[in-house]
Homo-oligomer: A and B are copies of this chain.
Amino acid sequence: MAGSITGNIIRVSTWGESHGAALGCVIDGVPAGLVLNEELIQPFMDRRAPGTRAFSTARAEGDKVRILSGVFEGKTTGTPVSLMVENKDQRSKDYGNIATSYRPGHADFTFDQKYGFRDYRGGGRSSGRETIGRVAAGAVCELILKELGVSVNAYTYSIGPVKIDKDNFDIRKSLTDPLSMPDEAASEKAMAYLKELSEKGDSAGGVIECVIKGLPAGIGEPVFDKLDASLAKAVLSIGAVKGFEIGSGFEAANLTGSVNNDSFFNDNGKIGKRTNNAGGILGGISDGSDIVFRAAVKPTPSVSIPQETVDNTGRDMTLEIKGRHDNVIVPRAVVVVESMAAITVLDLMLMNMSSRLDGIKAFYVYNRRQ
């Protein structure tokens, strides 16, 4: 059983390799009636594209998305939405010893172990290009969430040791900042840090934060499909993510209950919380506050410093990875985190629609269409 399908009610099936003919996704369960066209999806694709951001590879990929099905006269029909991006550059290439050696920190070795062999061209399915299908699907889900009053925004929280300063926070800047940071000063410092590493042939990691606003209370399905658990899986499924935390996260382990608990209070007739250490989730269910989570991204393993490794016959060797590579993937991964969060939250919103008999009766009895 392979794992390239995610979701329960809205289900996303992604496909494609780095240097295959094309990559894409099929989204089953897109509700009928959504205004959808390629221009609405493309900006999301551009956010993950290399060449549009500093410190990313210069190769102009021009990942143009095409809608192949599920849309008629500008609206979704309720049938599967198939989205595709063709690979322009599939020309035969010398992959050198990547075909026969195992790059440290990459999935070369584990793919060979699992499948017996691998498509080594550009990393095949373990390439960052795999996320094209995720982002295309995430774009559609974000458009639906917008109709429901829910926004999802991810941004770079830190790169290496350089963190954003919440006092200097401007979410709009993250969309134009070359490092997807919502803090100009931090971005400049991080760029200096990256330049320094680049000169050494080394790479950096970082942390991505994501905030979901407008999510009603009640979303998340105890006990296994809790909102935080589902977000964790979605985000950890992105290559290079090694950690996930919600609200006060790992810091909560050091706090005492009286400090970590968020007090409820009457906020002008609504029930509010004084703090949000919970990150907007109690018992796995959204509480109406902002959902706030963070993902730890490891440094990109493609460094040009020579590394010890073995070839696929087990012989020790020294590997030098040539060519230009991003020395940080965090800025480009921001939209991927956002996409996975959007898919997850929308799916759980749809799952929640049958949680109460009165809600089902409202749909079928009180508001019966025909």
Contact = CB atoms under 8 A, between A and B. Distances in A.
Interface in A239-264: 239, 242-250, 252-264
A320 to B, nearest CB: 13
Contacts of A252: 205, 242-243, 296-299
Interface residues of A, number: 177
Contact of A160 (B4, B232, B254): B254
Interface in A1-25: 1-6, 8-11, 13-17, 20-24
Contacts of A211: none
B271 A109 contact: yes
Interface stretch (A44-52, A55-63, A166-174, A346-354): A346-354
Given A3-B226, A105-B282, A369 B78 contact: no
A285 B113 contact: yes
B243 A307 contact: no
Contacts of A282: 105-107, 109-110
Contacts of A264: 102, 104, 109, 308-310
A351 B201 CA distance: 39
Contacts of A358: 33, 116
Query: Interface residues of A: mostly helix, strand, loop or mixed?
Result: mixed
Interface in A324-370: 327, 349-365, 367-370
Given A243-B245, A257-B299, A28 B16 contact: no
B33 A357 contact: yes
B15 A69 contact: yes
B113 A217 contact: yes
Contacts of A76: 357
A58 B226 CA distance: 30
A283 B126 contact: yes
Contact of A223 (B82, B102, B125, B351): B125
**Oligomeric state, in number of copies?**
4
B253 A297 contact: yes
A152 interface: no
Contacts of A284: 107, 237, 239
A256 B356 contact: no
A69 B21 contact: yes
Contacts of A1: 1, 8-11, 29, 221, 225, 350-351, 354
A153 interface: no
A228 interface: yes
Given A110-B217, A253-B298, A266-B310, 16 more contacts: A5-B11, A13-B26, A33-B356, A72-B119, A110-B286, A113-B285, A114-B285, A144-B357, A203-B256, A203-B257, A232-B233, A232-B236, A239-B284, A243-B246, A260-B301, A350-B353
A175 interface: no
Interface in A192-227: 197, 201-207, 216-226
Interface in A174-195: none
Contacts of A68: 15-16, 20-22, 24, 84
Contacts of A106: 282-283
Contact of A226 (B79, B225, B236, B246): B236
A82 B209 CA distance: 33
Q: 9 closest pairs, A vs B, by CB?
A: A107-B283, A3-B225, A3-B221, A243-B245, A233-B233, A203-B257, A110-B285, A32-B115, A114-B218
Contacts of A109: 217, 264, 271, 282, 287
Contacts of A42: none
